[in-house]
């Protein structure tokens, strides 16, 4: 079973409030576009509203009961009037949309309602997008569409104009921390994970990932040698950083971890120690925070953010890291 209405309302209050009003006033749109970062609950909310549309025993006029035949079948993914479309390979093909249209030209198997959910709608091919557009322009009665995307700008403006767009906001870190602890993550580790990803499943995987555990140690070591001398920092880059952080995604993760160390130092200086995320390193960080200034920390964080931008722009990672190390030691941002 997915998350309940109350659980999702805690995560996406604005979205759930709007959907509740639509259900109570019987004004459900024929097409919704849910946009937001991965892990913000788009898929769960689309299934929740689908259950509300099919539920045989709604609670308070809008909450699915989760126990009727329709709710159970939707939770199990085997309701014949609900169709889920996901990319085949890298994209959603025109044939997938045409098959959907053919399916929807028939009467509902068990009801007058039909729902289709398109995951990663931004990955539709041009011909699939055009085919869907015709479908959206002439919706069948009782048909509701959910398009889910992390890349709103990749969708045709004509598709956007025919959908009710609801924005899913990133989860507040404290909400994520609570979820992680409820899922067995140690309280001292949860804050760091909550600041690195908005996706609960990804955070839980990182929590038991040996590569990630080692990455944290290397980043802390790099920070410590950065405080000493440039030569030792360059040796650490060659001996530890480059062999461990190999592809662009891993390097970005390493830079995110490094940035969080500097943020922690700043929080300690501002006497906001409840906000630090490297909790297991907190005693050492308190000592380090006494030996630097807020202005210097701000410049160093700017240098890391600049390095992240340069990496995205395909700068040579080795050159980028060597420049970053020198800039952090100067305490000033990139030229």
Residue pair 278/261 in contact (Cβ under 8 Å)? The answer is: yes
Would you say residue 203 lies in a domain? no
- Which class for 291: exposed (0-12), middle (13-18), buried (19 or more C-beta within 10 A)? exposed
The per-type count for the chain, helices as H runs and strands as E runs, is: 17, 5
- Number of folded domains in the chain? 2
User: Residue 183: inside a domain, yes or no?
Assistant: no
Do the Cβ atoms of 258 and 219 come closer than 8 Å? yes
Confidence band for 4, pLDDT divided at 50, 70 and 90: confident
Domain-embedded: residue 48? yes
| Distance in angstroms (rounded) separating the CA atoms of residues 179 and 11 | 10
Mean pLDDT over residues 34-38, rounded?
A: 91
Rounded Cα–Cα distance for residues 290 and 270 (Å): 11
Q: Is residue 325 included in any domain, yes or no?
A: yes
The Cα 254–Cα 248 span in angstroms is 10
- Least confident among 58-67, 81-90, 99-108, 227-236: 99-108
Nearest to 51 by CA among 28, 34, 33: 28
Same domain, 144 and 253: no
Q: Where does a domain end: 140, 168, 196?
A: 168
Asked if residue 251 and residue 121 are part of one domain, the reply reads no
Summarize the confidence of residues 281-286 as an average pLDDT: 92
Quick check: 173 pLDDT over 90?
A: no
Indicate if 37 and 94 belong to the same structural domain: yes
pLDDT at 199 over 60: yes
pLDDT given at position 97: 92
pLDDT of residue 335: 32
- In this structure, are 76 and 164 located in the same domain? yes
Taking alpha carbons only, the member of 116, 95, 96, 93 closest to residue 104 is 116
At residue 335, the 3 state secondary structure works out as coil
Q: What is the pLDDT of residue 172?
A: 81
- The count of other CB atoms within 10 Å of the CB of residue 65 is 15
Does 273 reside within a domain? yes
Mean local confidence (pLDDT), 259-282: 94
pLDDT of 109: 63
List Cα–Cα distances, 60 to 1, 20, 23, 57, 144, in angstroms.
20, 10, 11, 9, 22
The three-state secondary structure class of 269 is helix
Specify the pLDDT at position 95: 94
**CATH number of domain containing 21:** 3.40.50.300
Residue 258 maps to which CATH number?
A: 1.20.272.10
Do 146 and 235 reside in the same domain of the chain?
no
**Residue 168 · residue 40 · CB < 8 Å:** yes
Return the structure tokens found at 141: 């009665």
Residue 76 lies in a domain: yes
- Contact between 31 and 149 under an 8 Å Cβ cutoff? The reply is no
Give pLDDT tens digits for 93-150.
999 999 988 887 776 666 778 999 999 999 999 999 998 998 888 877 788 999 999 9
Distance CA 114, CA 272 (A): 51
Residue 188 lies in a domain: no
CB 245 within 8 A of CB 209: no
pLDDT of 276 higher than 80: yes
**213 shares its domain with 156:** no
Q: Are residues 148 and 46 in the same domain?
A: yes
> Does residue 16 sit in the same domain as residue 141?
yes
Q: At which of 168, 190, 218 does a domain end?
A: 168
- Which pLDDT band holds residue 53 (cuts at 50, 70, 90)? very high
pLDDT at 139: 77
What number is the average pLDDT over the span 71-87?
Answer: 93
Please compute, for residue 118, the number of CA atoms within 13 A of its CA located in the half-sphere on the CB side.
Answer: 29
Q: How confident is the model at residue 158 (pLDDT cuts 50, 70, 90)?
A: very high
Q: Same domain for 136 and 267?
A: no
111 and 233 together in one domain: no
Residue matched to tokens 């989760």: 66
pLDDT band at 333 (very low <50, low <70, confident <90, very high): very low
pLDDT (0 to 100) of residue 138 = 81
**Are residues 138 and 58 located together in one domain of the fold?**
yes
The span from the CA of 164 to the CA of 27, in Å, is 12
HEC string of 66-108 equals CCCHHHHHHHCCCCCCEEEECCECCEECHHHHHHHHHHHHCCC
Tokens 């053919």 locate to: 102
Q: What is the pLDDT of residue 227?
A: 83
In a domain, 225, yes or no: yes
Residue 246 dihedral angles phi and psi, to the nearest 5° = -95, -55
Length of the chain: 335
Strands laid side by side in the 143-149 sheet: 82-85, 114-118, 143-149, 31-36, 164-168
What's the domain range around 252? 209-330
Report pLDDT for 141: 79
Residues 158 and 214 in one domain: no
């Amino acid at each position: 079973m997915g998350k309940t209405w109350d659980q999702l309302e805690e995560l996406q209050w604005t979205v759930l409030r709007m959907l509740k009003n639509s259900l109570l006033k019987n004004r459900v749109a024929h097409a919704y576009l849910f946009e937001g970062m991965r892990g913000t609950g788009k898929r769960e909310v689309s299934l929740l509203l689908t259950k509300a549309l099919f539920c045989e025993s709604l609670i308070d006029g809008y909450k699915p009961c989760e126990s009727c035949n329709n709710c159970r079948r939707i939770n199990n993914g085997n309701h014949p009037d609900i169709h889920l479309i996901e990319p085949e390979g890298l994209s959603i093909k025109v044939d997938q949309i045409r098959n959907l249209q053919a399916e929807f030209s028939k009467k509902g198997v068990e009801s007058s309602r039909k729902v289709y959910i398109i995951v990663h709608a931004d990955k539709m091919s041009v011909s699939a997008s055009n085919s869907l557009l015709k479908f959206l322009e002439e919706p069948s009665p009782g048909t509701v569409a959910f398009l889910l995307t992390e890349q709103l700008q990749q969708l045709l403006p004509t598709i956007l104009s025919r959908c009710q767009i609801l924005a899913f906001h990133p989860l507040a870190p404290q909400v994520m921390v609570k979820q992680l602890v409820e899922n067995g993550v140690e309280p001292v580790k949860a804050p760091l994970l909550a600041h690195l990803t908005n996706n609960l499943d990804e955070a839980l995987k990182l929590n038991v990932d040996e590569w990630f555990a080692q990455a944290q140690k290397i980043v802390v070591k790099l920070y410590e040698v950065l405080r000493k001398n440039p030569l030792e920092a360059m040796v650490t880059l060659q001996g530890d950083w480059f062999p461990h952080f190999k592809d662009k995604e891993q390097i970005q993760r390493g830079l995110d971890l490094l940035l969080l160390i500097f943020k922690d130092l700043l929080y300690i200086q501002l006497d906001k120690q409840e906000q630090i995320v490297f909790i297991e390193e907190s005693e050492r960080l308190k000592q380090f925070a006494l030996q630097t200034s807020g202005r210097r920390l701000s410049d160093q964080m700017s240098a890391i953010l600049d390095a992240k931008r340069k990496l995205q722009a395909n700068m040579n990672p080795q050159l980028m890291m060597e420049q970053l190390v020198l800039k952090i030691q100067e305490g000033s941002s990139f030229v």
